[in-house]
Structure formats: structure tokens, C-alpha cells
């Protein structure tokens, strides 16, 4: 049987039925990215006034996720699905485009180059080496900081947090919380939290659908359109618009200068570098795919596909794609092989035809998902040794500076530099890996030249 030869289903104690159900479960838990990624990348125009089209963003988000998820299933034979990474997409929108003034094509070019660098690191066996050079506390702090940053964006998108005027605090509760947008956000947030607490598959997607339905009803009954975007489309399906595929540029080197451009590539690399290995190991352990020493035999293949996800995501303007922890839903459903990934990938490809349907989802409905995902990412701080100041201060700086300065780059760089400085000045320079010292030195230059 073809599926048996390709995926060794019986050998891993699974069945075709279990794998198919697992693939559907994973898609149900990940499908929210089809609404959230376009809402993040389409939130603002670049310096030239170019704003990415929502329908095109839905198409490329589904396309890249589908292709890479299938590739992971066929090449690595694991049930680890991929899609646009939350956090990196925010970095692209709010740091590269809004902060650095890059055009969208140039910003996606940064992602492509970063992905190529990761591919080289994987092929050379250096990705694991660099991974081992970073203290575990900082790895966790990077993930937690990105989570807090994502949650902050969710509150802003929902209109909960704002800067009402120049005399107000830097951030504050919006003066008027009694709006329909706030109501939709709160309903969505509570619904998602309750569904997740009850371990309902696809909780985020269900919450987004519920919030969108409420928003459409409100707009139908109220005068005007109190919730922008929540309108019924004139059609539910359409031919996929692939206009964004290939819309990237490497001109960011000339726009920023070589040193600053390299700094941003390194920053994206650092922000995108650590999640995949930890996520893959966690999923592998849960699926019983790790060996006696807790290692995942397919790790090199997994990292090759995941690194290609950055290249493909940038090249298609979907932002870097990475392994999703939501794949655990498929693992819990019984997924043990790449066949589950093939099913999930096919469903993502089918979703390309329903961009108009996804386009009716307002920011008020996707904002709760950002907050929930941010909260989940923040949970890793429990494993940081807060009593060791040499670790806790750099970790706190990493976590705090991301939302406080609205820049992932600032948090990553500050944590690295502080860790090295404190370790050296307290006489524990042997704790600093040479690779980490090089990265920290680069970030010192990075801050002094004010590139972010």
C-alpha cells in the first residue's frame, strides 16, 4: 500500500483513519492564521503608501502553509504543520516597515535572506551549535517577549489600548470602552478562553467565527458600520489571487546600508531561530517519535523544511513560516506520521479559494486570538530562574523591551548584551559561549548606530 510505504503508518502504531482525523484537527486549530496573518501584514501601508491586499494575503498565507506542511509530511514524515509565524509577521510590519521605513517588497526580502542563512546553518550543522550557545533562559525570554508583543498588538487592534492625545500617558485604556468593537473583542476573548479551557479543538477558529458573526449582526442592525470590515461579501469563493508571489526585493541592502541591513537580517534570524527546535522536540516527545536520549531522529530534515519556510514565506509575501505548536491537536488525535500533514496541507490549499469569506473577518475578531496566543507564549517564563540575577535581568529586559519599545529587535539585542556584560563583570566569562559574545558585540554596534 502506497501510504504504508511512504509513511510507515503501521510501524508507528497508527492507521490511515487516525492520520486523516489528525490532519483535520490540526487544520481546525491552525486555520485562524488565515485571518490573523492578513490582519497583521495588512494593517498599515509602507512609506510609499503601499498596503498589501487582504485577499492576496489570504491566498499566499494558505498557499505557503499548504505547500510547506505537505513538504514536511513527505520529506520528514512527521505530523508537524507549518504556517506564518506570529511574532515574525509583527516584526515585519511594525519594525521593518513602520520602524525602518522599508517597502513591503524590501521587508520580505529581509525574510528571504534570513531564511537562506538559516538553510546554510542547517546544512553546515551550525544551527544546533548556535542554539546551544544561547542560555536557555534567554531562549525562553525571547519567546515570552514576542508573546507579550503580540498580545499588545491585539489590545491595540481591539481599541482597548490607545494613546488618546499627546498629553495622555504613552499608553492607556481608550477613553471610550463602551463600543461595539470592545464588546465583540470581549465576547471573542472569553469564548476562546472557555473553549480552550474545555480543550475544544479549533477553539481559536470557533471564537473568530463567533465574533465575526456577532460583528456582522451588529453592523446589520446598527446605523452605519460601527465595526469596520464586518460585512457580508458578494461571493464566498473566488479564483486565488497570486499577485504577491515573488513580490520581494533585496534592495534593502542599499536602502539601509550593508551594516544596518545585516543587523536586521541577524535580528530576524535571532527572533525566528529558536522556536522550531523546541516545538519539534515537544511535539516529537508527545507523539513518541524521540529516541531514548530525547532526540528527534528526523531533526535535520525538520529544520531543513522549517528554514525553507522563511525563504518561501518571504518570497510569497506571507512572512516567515514555522512549525506550529497547534500541531499538538493532531498528535492528540492520533497523528504519528506525515500523512496527517498531507491532509492538513491539502486543506490549506483548498482555503486559497475562499479569500472573500476570510475577508469579512474584522480586526475585533482576530485581536482576541492574538491575545490568547500571546498569553500561551508567555507561559515559558515559569521555567526561568528568577533568583539568578545574571539570568533574570537579561531575561526581563528581553521580555519587557519588546512591547515597551514596540520592537522585537530591541528586546533580543538588550538581553544578549546584558547577559554577556553581567557574566563578564561578575567574573563568569567562561559561561559566555564565543558565538554568543560575537552576537552580543554585533548588537552593541546595532544599538549605537540606532538602526531600530
Q: Which residue has the higher pLDDT, 435 or 234?
A: 435
Q: Is the dihedral of CA 431, 433, 434, 438 positive or negative?
A: negative
Pick from 126, 114, 161, 32: nearest CA to 320? 114
Per the listing, cell 559561549 goes with: 433
Provide the pLDDT for residue 340. Answer: 96
Most confident of 155-164, 216-225, 348-357, 443-452: 348-357
212-108-29 Cα angle (round to 5): 35
Q: 166 pLDDT exceeds 60?
A: no
Query: Per-residue confidence at 165, pLDDT binned at 50, 70, 90?
Result: low
Q: 349 pLDDT exceeds 90?
A: yes
Per the listing, cell 479564483 goes with: 239
From 56-65, 162-171, 284-293, the region with the lowest mean pLDDT: 162-171
Query: Per-residue confidence at 404, pLDDT binned at 50, 70, 90?
Result: confident
Cα 276 to Cα 164: distance, rounded to the nearest angstrom: 39
Pick from 30, 32, 38: nearest CA to 319? 38
Alpha carbon 353 to chain centroid, angstroms: 23
Cβ-based neighbours of 412, under 8 Å, separated by 6 or more: 142, 145, 267, 270, 271, 398, 402, 443
**DSSP code at position 359:** T
Which pLDDT tens digit goes with each residue over 316-341?
999 999 998 788 878 877 899 999 99
From 71-75, 159-163, 435-439, the region with the lowest mean pLDDT: 159-163
Question: DSSP string spanning 57-101?
Answer: HHHHHHHHHHHHHHHHHHHT-----EEEPTTHHHHIIIIIITTT-
Cα 27 to Cα 164: distance, rounded to the nearest angstrom: 39
Provide the pLDDT for residue 136. Answer: 80
Cell of 65: 502553509
Provide the pLDDT for residue 52. Answer: 96
Provide the pLDDT for residue 114. Answer: 94
Amino acid at each position: 500500500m502506497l501510504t504504508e510505504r511512504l509513511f510507515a503508518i503501521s510501524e508507528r502504531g497508527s492507521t490511515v483513519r487516525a492520520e486523516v482525523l489528525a490532519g483535520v484537527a490540526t487544520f481546525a486549530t491552525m486555520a485562524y492564521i488565515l485571518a490573523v496573518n492578513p490582519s497583521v501584514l495588512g494593517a498599515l501601508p509602507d512609506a510609499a503608501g503601499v498596503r498589501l491586499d487582504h485577499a492576496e494575503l489570504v491566498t499566499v498565507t494558505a498557499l505557503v502553509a499548504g505547500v510547506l506542511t505537505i513538504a514536511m509530511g513527505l520529506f520528514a514524515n512527521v505530523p508537524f504543520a507549518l504556517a506564518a509565524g506570529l511574532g515574525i509577521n509583527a516584526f515585519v510590519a511594525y519594525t521593518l516597515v513602520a520602524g525602518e521605513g522599508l517597502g513591503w517588497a524590501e521587508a520580505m526580502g529581509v525574510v528571504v535572506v534570513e531564511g537562506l542563512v538559516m538553510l546554510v546553518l542547517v546544512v553546515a550543522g551550525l544551527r544546533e551549535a548556535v542554539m546551544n550557545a544561547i542560555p536557555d533562559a534567554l531562549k525562553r525570554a525571547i519567546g515570552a517577549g514576542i508573546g507579550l508583543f503580540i498580545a499588545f498588538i491585539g489590545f491595540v487592534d481591539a481599541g482597548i489600548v490607545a494613546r488618546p492625545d499627546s498629553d495622555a500617558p504613552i499608553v492607556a485604556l481608550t477613553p471610550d470602552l463602551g463600543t461595539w468593537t470592545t464588546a465583540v473583542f470581549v465576547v471573542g476573548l472569553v469564548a476562546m478562553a472557555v473553549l480552550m479551557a474545555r480543550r475544544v479543538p479549533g477553539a481559536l477558529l470557533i471564537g473568530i467565527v463567533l465574533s465575526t458573526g456577532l460583528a456582522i449582526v451588529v453592523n446589520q442592525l446598527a446605523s452605519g458600520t460601527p465595526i469596520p470590515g464586518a460585512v457580508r461579501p458578494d461571493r464566498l469563493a473566488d479564483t486565488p489571487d497570486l499577485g504577491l508571489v515573488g513580490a520581494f526585493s533585496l534592495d534593502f541592502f542599499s536602502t539601509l546600508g550593508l551594516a544596518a541591513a545585516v543587523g536586521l537580517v541577524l535580528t530576524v534570524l535571532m527572533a525566528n531561530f529558536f522556536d522550531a527546535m523546541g516545538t519539534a522536540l515537544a511535539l516529537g516527545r508527545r507523539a513518541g517519535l524521540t529516541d531514548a536520549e530525547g532526540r528527534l531522529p528526523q531533526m535535520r530534515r525538520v529544520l531543513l523544511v522549517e528554514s525553507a519556510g522563511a525563504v518561501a514565506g518571504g518570497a510569497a509575501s506571507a512572512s516567515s513560516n514555522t512549525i506550529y505548536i497547534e500541531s499538538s491537536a493532531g498528535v492528540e488525535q492520533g497523528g504519528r506520521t506525515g500523512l496527517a500533514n498531507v491532509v492538513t496541507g491539502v486543506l490549506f490549499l483548498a482555503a486559497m479559494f475562499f479569500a472573500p469569506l476570510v475577508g469579512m473577518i474584522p480586526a475585533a475578531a482576530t485581536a482576541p486570538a492574538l491575545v490568547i496566543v500571546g498569553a500561551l507564549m508567555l507561559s515559558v517564563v515559569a521555567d526561568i530562574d528568577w533568583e539568578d540575577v545574571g539570568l533574570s535581568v537579561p531575561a526581563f529586559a528581553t521580555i519587557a523591551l519588546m512591547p515597551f519599545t514596540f520592537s522585537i529587535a530591541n528586546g533580543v539585542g538588550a538581553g544578549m548584551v546584558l547577559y554577556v556584560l553581567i557574566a563578564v563583570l561578575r567574573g563568569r566569562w567562561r559561561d559566555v559561549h564565543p558565538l554568543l559574545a560575537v552576537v552580543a558585540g554585533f548588537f552593541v554596534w546595532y544599538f549605537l548606530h540606532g538602526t531600530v
